[in-house]
Structure 1
Amino acid sequence: MRSASFFLLVLVAVAATWAAEEKYTNKFDNVDIDRILANGRILTNYIRCLMEEGPCTQEGRELKKTLPDALKTGCSKCNEKQKQATEKVIRHLMTNRKSDWDNLSKKYDPQGEYKKNYESLLSKAAKA
């Protein structure tokens, strides 16, 4: 299993993205992450957006804009709901969409500098 490179925050940002001064907007906090993860077509569309291989929804565009900052700051501007959704998305991609996980990791964390920050997060969550 590959280390958790935070690009997946990206997909969680589907649920909550839009950079603000202090915190990311909660505008997308009520997006049904479970429905997106359960629907391969919708999830693939978000992944294509993030990979710049397809069109983006409003949520996808905001996610793509927010991702670099979220990676850099370790999601410090995320609220608790956004952090929980991020963990869920990361786990799902690592387990069920490995090649997409690998591709997103290469694009958003090519040096692997962020994944160390998130390995412990996922490790702790897996033990809980």
Structure 2
Amino acid sequence: MQFFPFVLVFFAFANIVSCSVNPYQFLDEIDFAAIREDPNEVKVYIECINENKGCTPQYDQVKMFLPEVIKTCCEMCSEAQKKEIAVMQKFLLEKYPEQVLEILNRYDPDGDYRKICADKLRRKGIDLEKYLEEES
């Protein structure tokens, strides 16, 4: 549920770069716990990321940076952001697996993220094995 970076999840959350600027600082302003607690907000979040519908300014920012976050396995995310993304990814994978697959196929059509980042995510309790098999 932390892919929101998906998710995520995530997908998802930025690390401090060498010049001490965090390009994903806006993620710190999003209350992901509140999103997880409200099924309607989860729907808005997923629709924004996957279908470009109903985006709030904050969700629009997430959507804009999501390809980079996915491509780099959230390499530039801060530790706190990585933890929050992991929680969100795990949540989404458990509660909304079909939508996660749609998001993965949209932002990672060749399955590169799933292959490269699967081990890192597995260590955080996020198993993408099912999604490695189902990539399209």
Name the TM-score, length of structure 1 as normaliser: 0.78
Quick one: distance in 2 between partners of 1:118 and 1:37? 23
1:8-27 counterparts in 2 under 5 A? 8-13=7-12, 16=13, 23-27=22-26
Matching residue's letter, 1:56: C
Give the ranges of 4+ consecutive aligned residues of structure 1 lying more than 4 Å apart after TM superposition. none
Quick one: distance in 2 between partners of 1:58 and 1:5? 17
1:29 aligns with 2:2: no
* Matched position secondary structure for 1:126: coil
1:63 is matched with 62
Structure 2, gaps ≥5 residues long? 127-136
2:76 is matched with 77
Quick one: distance in 1 between partners of 2:116 and 2:89? 13
Quick one: distance in 1 between partners of 2:105 and 2:7? 12
Whether contact under 8 Å (1:5, 1:118) holds in the other structure is no
Tell me the alpha carbon deviations over residues 50-81 of structure 1, each in whole angstroms, 9 at most, x when there is no partner: 12341210111111110111122221221111
Say what the alpha-carbon RMSD is for the aligned residues.
Answer: 2.6
Name the TM-score, length of structure 2 as normaliser: 0.74
Quick one: distance in 1 between partners of 2:84 and 2:65? 15
Quick one: distance in 2 between partners of 1:28 and 1:39? 18
1:42 aligns with 2:36: no
Shift of 1:121: 2.2
Shift of 1:12: 4.4
Higher strand proportion (structure 1 or 2): 2
Quick one: distance in 2 between partners of 1:73 and 1:61? 19
Going from structure 1 to structure 2, the CA distance change for 1:12 and 1:106 (only over 3 Å counts) comes to closer
